Each structure stands twice: as structure tokens, then as C-alpha cells.
């Protein structure tokens, strides 16, 4: 079980994430929804220290950190236990798809080139890119790049996968491939926190949905509870704006 | 017998005489470039990390070096270092002999710092141009700062830095012609010596110009090759796969 408690983060004097606590069971898919600026991405990025949280604690299968005074080695360990999929893919531009996936295996996990290649090829196959392994990111479509990004994250076998608006930077016709890849990942029992604006996808894939507003958790429950019977008027208002689009 | 207005034979026969001093010109160029790159990287990191005091000192030094002519800087080191030695001798009762300091040292110090000043700005700009997302991706995989620097920042920055650093190398090569003011005989100084003994000034200097030009063309071609090697072409081809990273992964095994 993964537990994050009382996490807060502010930029200058703006409180972006306000005392958020969550729990995730193993294999659970937790989706964060909410309007832009609600603090979803910042919360996600604070979990693996891409943003330094002001305070908060994390418990990951007995590995405990306090964000206020996290040490360098704890930070590295935390990042080894988690992996991230980015909105803008963030692939290494000077490396091929295969080398992008191998990078963490070789440099962080110190695997031999042979083992790393085997694992990377398997993960690229899983995301349907066996025929693109030697392509550089700039020769791949956005959707393909994001699938490489997913393969790169999964190859690290993270205990917790952090997925940050994976389709927000994609053309509409490329969204489907990425979403089905995430769905397949979820079906394999990968624990993940997903930030997404694709409401129908969230409804379909998430085990639990959290609606955030103004840096706080407003409401949480199963997709059915949150989407069909929202308790808070703010959640209702937010969902209504999606239905009206 | 009338004297020819222009004698091509003298141009040709001067070339080997000038080339005797080519190694010296190249020595100054490459030693200063390497020292300049190394110092430039340190300057750039100090300024990017905004290390107090050191950062300000370096900013002033860079401004001074960029704001004064190279020849004046050479005069300053040539006359300043002996002064400094005298001061040390007086202050500490040591007996350093200024005549033991080789002229080359003045030249190398001046050129290295000059290169460092210009290179540090190039390096700083190149390091800052690296996409932040890629750095975050590397960090999120659990890499240490040094690993991120080596695996992501430096390789990406190199692509940006090669053309301006190449320019710096070419101006440095030509700049070595100033070394004679500190008493180092390199190609240009040799040209002066030959021409003043034969009074064939134009021919000798023409020969000298040709040599510098050819050297520059060679450097330009090498840079073009490097640039090509380090950049990824616009369309996918099977041939180019992974040649880039092969420069950095010495432990690689065979391609699949």
C-alpha cells in the first residue's frame, strides 16, 4: 500500500497543493481530475520530487520519507521506486526509441547492455512499436513518442507509475493508441496515479477518482459515484462544463 | 638584371620555411583551446550556479577580457608577470629569475584565459538551451546529477555549442600570430624574419596568408563532419541509427 499524507506545496506565496493525503492499494488506478491550476500535476510531480514539496510524508511499501527534510539518497531511492510519464513525452532527443528505454536500465539499474536490450525490446513490443525501435524521437509521431515514454517508465518496473496528462499534447487521432496502452498497463495490475482531462477514459479505466480544486481534494469515490452522483456542487459544475463541450 | 615586381618562386619557396614554425602555431592553438574549454566550463558552471564572490569575480574578468584587445592583454601579461615575480621576490625573499620563465608561458596564459572568457559564454548558453523536460525525465528515472550531466545535458549542449566553439578555434588559430609580441617565434614571426632579410615582403606574407587560409579550411571541414555526426537528420535512415550515442557508450555491445 502507498500512502501520501499532508502534502503541501506553494510557489512563492501561492499555495498550489494544500494538505493533500491519499492512499492507493496495490494494483489500483487512481485518477485525479479537476480544472487547470487545481494542483493535480504539481501534486503528482511532488511525489517523485520533481517539485520539492514544502511538507508531507510518503510511505511506499515500508519505504518512508518526509518531504520536508528528504535526503539526496532518499530522493534517488524514491525515484527508483516510481516512474513518470510526461505530458510532453520528454524523450531523450539524441537517443533512439530503444536507447531511451534502455537508458534507465543501464545507467540506474546497472544492467548489462544485453539484458537491458532484451527488456527494452519487450516493453517496446508491448506498446506496439517493435518496428520503430531504431527511430529517433523526432522521426516518430506524438502518439508513438508517448508510447516510448510509457515503455521507458514501465521498463523500470515502478511500484507506482505517475502519469501526467498523457494525451494533452496529442492530436485527437493519436489519443486512442496512447489511451489503450495505458488501459493495457492498468489491466496488468500496475499501480498508478493518472492525471487526465479525458473524462470518458478516466471513467472507464480508473478504480477511484479524486476531484481536486484549489489545491484540495473536494470529492473522491468510484467513477460511478463521482461522475454520476457527485456530492459537491463544485464537482457537478466541473463535470457539467465537460458535458457541455 | 632587373628585379621582378612579383616573384611567385619566392612565394613557393617561403612556404616550407614558414611551415617549420607550424607546430608552434598549432601547439599554442590546441593547448589554449583545451585549457580554454576546461576553464570555460568551470566559469560557466560557477556563473550558472551563481556561486557567491567567485561568480562576481569571473563576471568582471570575462568583461575585462572581452573588453580589451588581445594584443594589449599580451603586453599586460608580458610585463605584468615579471612585476609580480619581482614583488614576490621582494616580499618573501625568494630568488625567482624572470629570465627563466619561458616566453611561451605568457602566450599560453593569455590565450587560455582569452578563450575561456569567450567559451564560457558559449558553454553557458548551450547548457541553458538543454530542454528542461529531458533533464526531468532523466531525474525521474533516478539518475544522479552527475549522470544527468553526462548522459543528457552535455551531449545535448554539444550539438548547440559545436559551431560557435569552432568559430572560436579558427579565430584562436589566427590570433596566434600575435604571439610574437611576447617574443615567441611562430609562423607570422618567422614571416617577418624571412621578409626583412630578403626584402620580399609581399611574397612572404602572401605565402603566410595561404597557409592560414588552408589551415582554416581544414578546420572548417573537420567541424562540418563533426556537426553532421552529432546531429540527427530530418528523415529516418537505417544507416544513422545510434551512431550518435556510440560516441558516449564505450561499453556497448553489438547492435541488434
DSSP string, A35-59: -TTSSHHHHHHHHTTSS--SEEEEE
Residue with cell 492512499: A23
Residue B3's pLDDT is 73
Predicted confidence pLDDT, tens digits, chain A (245 residues): 899 999 999 999 899 999 999 999 999 999 999 998 899 999 999 999 999 999 999 999 889 999 999 999 999 999 999 999 999 999 999 999 999 999 999 999 999 999 999 999 999 999 999 999 999 999 999 999 999 999 999 999 999 999 999 999 898 888 999 999 999 999 999 999 999 999 999 999 999 999 999 999 999 999 999 999 999 999 999 999 887 76
Task: Kindly report the nearest CA distance between residue B82 and chain A, in angstroms.
Answer: 48
| Contact criterion met (CB < 8 Å) for B152 and A92 | yes
pLDDT for B239 beyond 60: no
CATH of span A2-90+160-243: 3.40.50.300
Residues of B whose CB is below 8 A from A84 = 136-137, 140
Helix (H/G/I), strand (E/B), else coil: B32: helix
The dihedrals phi and psi of A82, each to the nearest 5 degrees, come to -120, 170
Specify the fold of B17-246. Answer: MetI-like fold (1.10.3720)
Contact assessment for residue A218 and residue A212, using Cβ atoms and an 8 Å cutoff: yes
User: Which of A189, A192, A161 has the alpha carbon at shortest distance from A29?
Assistant: A192
Q: Residue B232: closest CA among chain A residues belongs to which residue?
A: A94
| Contact criterion met (CB < 8 Å) for B253 and A94 | no
CA distances from A90 to A163, A169, A223, B159 (A): 13, 12, 30, 18
Measured between alpha carbons, how far apart are the two ends of chain A, in Å? 37
Average pLDDT, integer, range B191-214: 93
pLDDT for B255 beyond 80: no
**Residues in Cβ contact with B72 at an 8 Å cutoff, skipping those fewer than 6 apart:** none
pLDDT for B119 beyond 50: yes
Residue A4's pLDDT is 95
The dihedrals phi and psi of A164, each to the nearest 5 degrees, come to -110, 100
Contact assessment for residue A82 and residue A158, using Cβ atoms and an 8 Å cutoff: yes
Helix (H/G/I), strand (E/B), else coil: A25: coil
pLDDT for B244 beyond 60: no
Residue B256's pLDDT is 36
Mean pLDDT of chain B: 88
pLDDT for B210 beyond 90: yes
| Contact criterion met (CB < 8 Å) for A136 and B232 | yes
Residue A110: count of CB within 10 angstroms of its CB: 8
Share of chain B above pLDDT 70, in %: 92
Residues of B whose CB is below 8 A from A117 = 256
Calpha distance B34→B36 (Å, rounded): 5
| Contact criterion met (CB < 8 Å) for B141 and A107 | yes
DSSP H/E element including A121: helix A113-126
Q: What is the ipTM of this complex?
A: 0.93
Residue B1's pLDDT is 53
Express each pLDDT in B20-63 by its tens digit: 999 999 999 999 999 999 999 999 989 988 899 999 999 999 99
Question: Which positions in chain B have a beta carbon within 8 angstroms of at least one beta carbon in chain A?
Answer: 131, 133-134, 136-144, 147, 151-152, 155-156, 159, 232, 234-236, 238, 241-242, 244-245, 249, 251-253, 256
Amino acid at each position: 500500500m502507498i500512502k501520501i499524507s499532508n502534502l503541501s506545496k506553494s510557489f512563492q506565496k501561492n499555495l498550489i497543493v494544500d494538505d493533500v493525503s491519499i492512499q492507493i492499494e496495490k494494483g489500483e488506478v487512481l485518477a485525479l481530475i479537476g480544472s487547470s491550476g487545481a494542483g493535480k500535476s504539481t501534486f503528482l510531480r511532488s511525489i517523485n520530487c520533481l517539485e520539492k514539496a514544502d511538507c508531507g510524508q510518503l510511505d511506499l511499501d515500508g519505504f518512508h520519507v518526509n518531504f520536508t527534510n528528504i535526503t539526496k539518497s532518499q530522493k534517488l531511492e524514491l525515484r527508483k521506486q516510481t516512474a513518470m510519464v510526461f505530458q510532453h513525452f520528454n524523450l531523450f532527443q539524441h537517443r533512439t526509441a530503444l536507447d531511451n528505454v534502455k537508458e534507465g536500465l543501464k545507467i540506474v539499474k546497472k544492467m548489462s547492455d544485453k539484458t537491458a536490450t532484451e527488456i527494452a525490446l519487450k516493453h517496446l513490443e508491448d506498446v506496439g512499436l517493435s518496428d520503430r525501435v531504431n527511430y529517433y524521437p523526432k522521426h516518430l509521431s506524438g502518439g508513438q513518442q508517448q508510447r516510448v515514454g510509457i515503455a521507458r517508465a514501465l521498463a523500470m518496473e515502478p511500484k507506482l507509475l505517475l502519469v501526467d496528462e498523457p494525451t494533452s499534447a496529442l492530436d485527437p487521432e493519436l489519443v486512442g493508441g496512447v489511451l489503450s496502452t495505458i488501459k493495457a498497463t492498468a489491466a496488468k495490475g500496475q499501480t498508478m496515479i493518472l492525471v487526465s482531462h479525458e473524462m470518458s477514459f478516466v471513467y472507464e479505466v480508473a478504480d477511484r477518482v479524486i476531484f481536486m480544486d484549489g489545491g484540495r481534494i473536494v470529492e473522491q469515490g468510484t467513477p460511478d459515484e463521482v461522475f454520476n452522483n457527485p456530492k459537491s456542487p463544485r464537482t457537478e459544475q466541473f463535470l457539467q462544463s465537460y458535458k457541455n463541450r | 638584371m632587373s628585379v621582378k615586381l612579383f616573384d611567385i618562386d619566392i612565394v613557393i619557396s617561403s612556404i616550407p620555411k614558414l611551415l617549420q614554425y607550424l607546430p608552434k602555431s598549432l601547439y599554442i592553438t590546441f593547448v589554449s583551446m583545451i585549457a580554454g574549454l576546461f576553464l570555460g566550463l568551470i566559469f560557466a558552471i560557477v556563473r550558472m550556479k551563481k556561486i557567491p564572490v567567485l561568480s562576481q569575480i569571473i563576471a568582471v574578468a570575462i568583461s575585462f577580457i572581452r573588453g580589451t584587445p588581445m594584443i594589449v592583454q599580451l603586453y599586460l601579461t608580458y610585463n605584468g608577470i615579471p612585476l609580480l615575480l619581482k614583488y614576490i621576490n621582494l616580499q618573501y625573499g625568494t630568488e625567482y629569475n624572470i629570465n627563466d620563465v619561458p616566453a611561451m608561458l605568457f602566450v599560453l596564459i593569455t590565450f587560455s584565459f582569452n578563450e575561456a572568457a569567450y567559451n564560457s559564454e558559449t558553454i553557458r548558453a548551450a547548457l541553458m538551451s538543454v530542454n528542461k523536460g529531458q533533464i526531468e525525465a532523466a531525474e525521474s528515472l533516478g539518475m544522479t546529477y552527475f549522470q544527468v550531466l553526462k548522459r543528457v545535458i552535455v551531449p545535448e549542449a554539444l550539438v548547440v555549442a559545436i559551431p560557435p566553439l569552432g568559430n572560436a578555434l579558427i579565430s584562436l588559430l589566427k590570433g596566434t600570430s600575435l604571439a610574437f609580441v611576447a617574443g615567441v617565434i611562430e609562423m607570422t614571426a618567422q614571416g617577418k624574419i624571412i621578409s626583412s632579410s630578403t626584402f620580399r615582403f609581399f611574397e612572404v606574407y602572401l605565402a603566410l596568408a595561404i597557409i592560414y587560409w588552408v589551415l582554416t579550411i581544414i578546420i572548417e571541414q573537420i567541424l562540418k563532419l563533426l556537426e553532421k555526426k552529432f546531429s540527427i537528420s530530418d528523415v529516418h535512415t537505417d544507416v544513422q541509427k545510434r551512431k550518435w550515442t556510440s560516441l558516449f557508450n564505450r561499453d556497448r555491445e553489438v547492435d541488434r
